[in-house]
Amino acid sequence: MKVPSRFPGWVTWLAFSVGLTGSISLRLILIAKAYHPELIRLFWYIGVCGNMVFFLFRSFITRRRRRLITGLDLVEKLRSRGRLHPEDYEALRYLVGSLDASKEQWNYLVIFLCSIAAIAWDLFVS
């Protein structure tokens, strides 16, 4: 099984930016409702499309990782402390590097903070 190569840094930053834009746009709907209702539909489309692209990308990455783990039977090799081949080490390097380079945790943090801010703002304004 061929170990995939990692995406260039700009791809992960682009996915992060698209996901962030989508998440913030959905939270801006509350503000648009109060001040510029004509923007609600725009924020909604940006938010939904941004989230679709982000989660499609995340799904692709997860599927790629799982195929690699399954294809090389890495879980069983690690569980049984079986002998690892050079390809196994390359796969583990890819998996660890991919997780380390991921901006996913930052996206989730921003989603959480923006959600708290949107709820607080709505409760304050209401």
pLDDT of amino acid 93: 93
**Distances from the Cα of 11 to the Cαs of 22, 46, 55, 57, in angstroms?**
17, 19, 14, 10
Checking if the pLDDT of 2 tops 90, the result is no
3-state class percentages of the chain: helix first, strand second, coil last, to nearest 5 = 85, 0, 15
Q: Would you put residue 73 in left (φ > 0), alpha (ψ -120 to 50) or beta? A: left
pLDDT of amino acid 68: 95
Determine the average pLDDT of the residues in 81-95: 93
pLDDT of amino acid 110: 87
Checking if the pLDDT of 101 tops 90, the result is no
**Distances from the Cα of 47 to the Cαs of 15, 67, 79, 120, in angstroms?**
14, 30, 42, 20
Tens of pLDDT, residues 103-125: 888 888 988 998 999 899 989 98
Between CA 87 and CA 122 the distance in angstroms is 53
Tens of pLDDT, residues 23-80: 999 999 999 999 999 999 999 999 999 999 999 999 999 999 999 999 999 999 999 9
pLDDT of amino acid 1: 78
Q: Kindly report each contact of residues 33-40 with a partner whose C-beta sits within 8 Å and lies 24 or more positions away, as own/partner.
A: 34/125
pTM over 0.85: no
